[in-house]
Structure 1
Amino acid sequence: MARPLVAHIDLDALRHNYRLACELAPNSRSVAVLKADAYGHGAARCAQALQDEAPAFAVAAIEEAVQLRKAGIEAPIVLLEGIFSPDELELVDELGLWMAIHSPWQLEAALAHHPRHPIPVWLKVDSGMHRLGFAPQDAEAAWQRLREAPDRVTDLHLMSHFATADLGDFEYFRRQHAVLQTLAERLDAPLCLANSPTVLSHPEAHGDWNRPGVMLYGSDPLELSCDASRRLRPVMSLRTEIIAVRELASGEPVGYGGRFITPDRSRIGVVACGYGDGYDRHAIDGTPVLVDGQRTTIAGKVSMDMLTVDLTHLPDAGIGSEVVMWGTSRHGSELSVDEVARYCDTISYTLLTGVLPRVPRRYNDAHSA
């Protein structure tokens, strides 16, 4: 018997979400972002599921690209943070990768390198995020230098990142977008701007390429959901089981520190899932879970390998009952990872990418059945 905690990955839902991104931006090509092991879902399997549909993939660093090539992925792969040292350019050339250039040293390294084939480059502009990228006033000179080296680089695009595209207040987004539009028109440059929130809610920023990320995995990144984001389907369902039940009198403490005190006579279920699996230790009492498809809540602090839930109003639940931490129950009920994240004072990204390797991934792919 294996421990019952499993992350079930629905590859048909992944394809649905990718197709939604394409539908929302019919005049753009959509690169599927697979960084951080496809946001915890398994980059190789997700790439294989999308390889007949996505014209390119994107990762953060060259190590992630190497793993995809080893898995047989032949499509273009974009290094969203570019290289971290000049010696990586040999491997970029060998593997046929594309890369971002966001810093002067990367620009100089690319122009000094003599690849077998010119390397496609996306020049990153800091339009207001203030992390990576050339200031707009410096980007034009960098662009011209790259254009003058067709034996080294090719297929130039401008890219940037929006700081507030997920928020309901669009003022700062519009300021960033205006900077980029002005620069693109001056350089006659194709654009890659749209991340998940921008794909979902800002069609004016859809470019030659878009780069949907977390939306591919069914998480709604928007502060205010829209019709499009409500069509997303969850890809990961983190399911486990009740492994013990305790009958407790009123006033009894549960778990470390006794944070939860039973308000009345209570049934408490012990669940095989904890922070050692990547479930967030900051989950408060009242964080929702599904037990046999019905909503209940966490009662007590999350432990390393276990947590406890309130079964008082679920008399039929017991040892072996299915528990869904987020995702879809076998009974058809659904619990959004975004909702769970709010109770943990975090975002879905941290929950999805935080599921640790000891949790097995099981892939459902009706497409290949």
Structure 2
Amino acid sequence: MNASSRPLHARIHLGAIRHNYRIAKAFAPSSRALAVVKANAYGHGAIAVARALAAEADGFAVACLEEALELRDSGIRDRILLLEGVFAPDEIAQVDAAGLTMVVHCRAQLDWVLAARPERPLRCWIKVDSGMHRVGFAPEDFGAIHAELGACAHVGELGAITHFARADEPGHPFIQRQLADFDRALGGRAVMSSLSNSAAVLSLPSAHRDWTRPGIMLYGISPFAVPHPAAELRPAMTLESAIIAVRDLAPGEPLGYGGRFVCDRPTRVGVVAVGYADGYPRHAPDGTPLAVAGRPTRLIGRVSMDMITLDLTGMEDVGLGTPVQLWGDRISAAEVAQAAGTIAYELFTGIGRRVRLIHEGV
């Protein structure tokens, strides 16, 4: 299939991402900020996003070595943090060669670092498990781990990092518990620290410290259930397709797989070239919002692999080729995600390979 034969595409507004990064910096003006571009920059295209931010970003954060090397190979020379560290001891040589910063979150990784023979001092950030309970060292073990790495001749920069489990619930007592456990781990040591994800950047100044890690906010989505009143984030992705068929159904006629939607009136139906193979949520219910030529309408019928159906009743001027926005500036990805019982993170990172990314504002 020709890459441009289908009308489905995602417009990535790089100017919006720069704008959102500046908001993250403005909320934590005394901190440096690592732009989180893991998972292909949440589906927005990691290389294009990193290049768009390279002139002003303090650095980047990714999940794994492959993501970091992709950025290095594309010309990104800023700091890059491996949020999950390395997965095998032989990766440390590549960390060394590429000048990466790595998280150390378990005893095996610690032993690999100690046994390494890098050509330059390694930069290691110790992961503290302050309550997320996925990875990291217990707060009471931090002092010994810090001392062990600090005594290693080939370890240079040492930092401490943790991750909040409930920062998107401002005021929840568990947030303060995690903050207290992190500080207890440091025990008064002057250690470079990173705690804040997007939610903490926007709502928890006491956690800003040396480095913040804005992620979802870069892409224009609030990390909270409702948008932050003082953070005017701009959506960075507009997912668009077009009407490829129109038909009229009589009252009582079922539509789509399983006949989930049954017409309760004469209904004009539009068929759109997008489906769950492209990242549109399969479980989106009838009524999920969309926009046709800028006008709001609703999804009707079950989402299939390559197509969805929507309500065009009363839109007699709409026909083949009319543009449809799945999410973007008129229909928030957060609205679509909420309707489908998921989160915008999953929508963005689930964008399929058939969706062309068109980067604007390079």
TM-score of the pair, normalised by structure 1: 0.95
2:197 to 195, 198, 210: 195
Contact 2:83 2:102 in 1 (8 A): yes
Q: Partners of 2:354 and 2:242 in 1: how far apart?
A: 16
Contact 2:170 2:203 in 1 (8 A): no
**Residues 210-249 of structure 1: pairs in structure 2 closer than 5 A:** 210-229=212-231, 231-249=232-250
**Residues 12-27 of structure 1: pairs in structure 2 closer than 5 A:** 12-27=15-30
1:42 to 42, 45, 53: 45
- Letter matched to residue 61 of structure 2: A
1:102 to 100, 105, 110: 105
1:13-45 alpha-carbon deviations (Å, 9 max, x no partner): 010000100011000000011100000011000
1:112-133 alpha-carbon deviations (Å, 9 max, x no partner): 1121111111100000000010
Deviation at 1:223, TM superposition (A): 2.5
Matched, 1:360 2:360: no
1:131-154 alpha-carbon deviations (Å, 9 max, x no partner): 0100001111101111112x3222
Give the 3-state SS of the residue equivalent to 1:74 in structure 2: coil
**Residues 190-339 of structure 1: pairs in structure 2 closer than 5 A:** 190-229=192-231, 231-328=232-329, 334-339=330-335
Deviation at 1:187, TM superposition (A): 2.0
Q: Partners of 2:97 and 2:298 in 1: how far apart?
A: 51
- Letter matched to residue 348 of structure 2: L
| RMSD of aligned Cα (Å) | 1.1
Contact 1:252 1:262 in 2 (8 A): yes
Deviation at 1:169, TM superposition (A): 4.3
Matched, 1:349 2:345: yes
- Letter matched to residue 54 of structure 2: Q
Match of 2:172 in 1: 170
Match of 1:63 in 2: 66
Give the 3-state SS of the residue equivalent to 2:195 in structure 1: strand
Extract unaligned runs of 5+ from structure 2.
none
Match of 1:139 in 2: 142
1:29 to 12, 32, 46: 32
Matched, 1:11 2:7: no
Contact 1:276 1:304 in 2 (8 A): yes
Contact 1:98 1:119 in 2 (8 A): yes
1:31-85 alpha-carbon deviations (Å, 9 max, x no partner): 0111000000110000000000112111000011111111111111110000001
1:274-328 alpha-carbon deviations (Å, 9 max, x no partner): 0111111010100000111111110000011100000113232221111000003
Deviation at 1:181, TM superposition (A): 2.2
Deviation at 1:182, TM superposition (A): 2.9
Match of 1:331 in 2: none
Match of 2:123 in 1: 120
- Letter matched to residue 11 of structure 2: H
Give the 3-state SS of the residue equivalent to 1:186 in structure 2: coil
1:85-107 alpha-carbon deviations (Å, 9 max, x no partner): 11100100011111000001111
Q: Partners of 1:313 and 1:210 in 2: how far apart?
A: 49
Give the 3-state SS of the residue equivalent to 1:90 in structure 2: helix
Q: Partners of 2:27 and 2:188 in 1: how far apart?
A: 27
Higher mean displacement: 135-144 or 183-192? 183-192
- Letter matched to residue 192 of structure 1: S
1:140-186 alpha-carbon deviations (Å, 9 max, x no partner): 1101111112x322221110000000014421001101111233352
Give the 3-state SS of the residue equivalent to 2:191 in structure 1: coil
Contact 1:177 1:205 in 2 (8 A): yes
Give the 3-state SS of the residue equivalent to 2:90 in structure 1: helix
Q: Partners of 1:344 and 1:163 in 2: how far apart?
A: 23
Contact 1:122 1:156 in 2 (8 A): yes
- Letter matched to residue 34 of structure 1: V
- Letter matched to residue 130 of structure 2: S
Match of 2:93 in 1: 90
Contact 2:36 2:61 in 1 (8 A): yes
- Letter matched to residue 39 of structure 1: Y
- Letter matched to residue 234 of structure 2: R
Give the 3-state SS of the residue equivalent to 1:100 in structure 2: strand
Contact 2:143 2:186 in 1 (8 A): no
- Letter matched to residue 299 of structure 2: I
Contact 1:266 1:312 in 2 (8 A): yes
Task: Give aligned pairs, total.
Answer: 359
Match of 1:184 in 2: 186
1:323-368 alpha-carbon deviations (Å, 9 max, x no partner): 000003xxxxx21101100111100010000001111100111xx5
